[in-house]
Structure 1
Amino acid sequence: MNVYLKPGENLVHDALWDGVLAIVEKLPSNGNTRRSIDEFTEDGMGGSAMRATYSVKQEDGTHKVFQLTLSCEESIDHEDGFWGPGGTRDGDDPAKRVVVAGEHYVLGDDKPDYPKAFKGFGGRRFAIEFLDGRRIVTHDLWHQGVVPPKWRERYPNNARFVQPGGAS
C-alpha cells in the first residue's frame, strides 16, 4: 500500500522518512540512485512502520538494492519507577506529602537557619490547608511534579494552598 503524504501531514511519517534519508546518506552512491517509500503503515495503537527501497545503478547495468524497514512505537510512560510501588516516592514521609490539584509536593525540614538557596522554591512562603483540617505555613516546599493519571488514586489530592487570612 503506497501512501502519499505531503510533508507535515503526518509527523511520524516525516520522522521515519528522515531516518531513511539518514541511513541512505551512509550507503554507497555513485550519483545514479533511486529511493522510494514502498509502504507506510499505522496500526492505530501508536505503532508505525515504513518500508523503503534505495537502489544504486552499477556499471554493468544492474542495481544494488537496499530494503530498509524503520518502525516507531508510541507509548505512554507513567513513570512507574518514580510513582509506583517500590518507586522513589515511597521513600517520602506520608505526613510530609502535599498533593494539590494533581501536583505532588513534599514538605522540607523548614529549618530557620538554612539559607533560602537550600530550601524548596527558594524559601518562598506557602500556607497550606490539608483536607483533614490541619493548617501549616512552610518556607521549604519541594515539587515532584504532576502525578500521572495512572497513579492519582495512589496520590489523591490532600490539601489546597490558602492565602493569608484564610482565602483560597
Structure 2
Amino acid sequence: MSDREMPPVQAALWAGALAVINGLPKETGGTSREIGDFTEDGARTTTKTTYKVHQPDGTTKVYTLTLAVEQSVDEHDERWGPGGRADQELIGSGARVVVDANLYTIGSAKAGGFRGFSGRRFDIEFFDGRTVTTRNLWDHGVIPPKWRERYPDNARFVQPEGGEGA
C-alpha cells in the first residue's frame, strides 16, 4: 500500500517516520526502511518503523522508531466550567444571549469605544417574551456540547420589520 492509499492518520505517521529517517546518518549507500503494522487502540494509532544502514564492516546499524498519534477532545472546561472564563466575561457584561449554542453578550450603550460586530444591528427575541435591539453584541463562541446544559439557548435573532435594520 502506498502512502497515497493509507488512511490520513497512518499517512501522517509514515510521513513523520520519513522525516526522522531523513535526519539519521547514512554512512553508506545501502539502506532499507520498512513500516510495521499499524495498531489502533481507541483514539491512538501506533506503528513501529525500522530503518537499516549497512556498514562498511559488514554490520547493519538498525534504527527502530515507534510513533503514535493520539486523538482527544478538549471540552474547554477552563473556559466554560464553573468559575471559568465564560463566567468572568459575563460578570457586568449585560444580558447573556445564547442562540443555537453560541454565547453572546449585549455590551453597554455608552457612546464611543468599540462595538461588537462593528455596531451592526441585532434584534433579539428572548424566550421569556422580551425583545431587545442592540448595536453592541459581543460573540463569545460556540459552547461545547458538554456545557450546553449550563448555557441553554434563551433567545433567537429576528429580522426587523422592513428587512435589515437602519
Query: Taking structure 1 as the reference length, what is the TM-score of the superposition?
Result: 0.88
Cα distance per residue 1:112-165 (max 9 Å; x no partner)? x215xx110000000111111111111000111111111110110001111223
Equivalent position to 2:75, from 73, 78, 97: 78
1:18 aligns with 2:15: yes
CA contact (8 A) 2:52 2:61 kept: yes
Equivalent position to 2:126, from 127, 130, 135: 130
User: Does the C-alpha gap of structure 1 residues 23 and 6 become closer, same or farther in structure 2, counting only changes over 3 Å?
Assistant: closer
CA contact (8 A) 1:107 1:138 kept: yes
| Identical pairs, percent | 51
1:51 aligns with 2:42: no
1:66 aligns with 2:63: yes
Task: Determine the structure 2 residue equivalent to 1:141.
Answer: 137
CA contact (8 A) 1:107 1:140 kept: yes
Which one-letter code corresponds to 1:59 in the other structure?
P
1:7 aligns with 2:9: no
User: Does the C-alpha gap of structure 1 residues 39 and 9 become closer, same or farther in structure 2, counting only changes over 3 Å?
Assistant: closer
Residues of 2 paired with 1:76 and 1:83: CA distance? 14
Structure 1 residue 39: deviation in Å?
A: 2.2
What is the aligned residue count? 160
- How large is the RMSD of aligned CA atoms in angstroms? 1.9
User: Does the C-alpha gap of structure 1 residues 131 and 95 become closer, same or farther in structure 2, counting only changes over 3 Å?
Assistant: farther
CA contact (8 A) 2:3 2:14 kept: no
Q: List structure 1 segments (4+ residues) > 3 angstroms apart after TM superposition.
A: none
Unaligned runs of 5+ in 2: none
Greater mean deviation of Cα atoms: 93-102 or 83-92: 93-102
SS state at 1:78 partner? coil
Cα distance per residue 1:76-130 (max 9 Å; x no partner)? 111111111221101113852100011111111132x215xx1100000001111
Cα distance per residue 1:41-73 (max 9 Å; x no partner)? 111x21100101001000011100011001111
Which one-letter code corresponds to 1:152 in the other structure?
R
SS state at 1:16 partner? helix
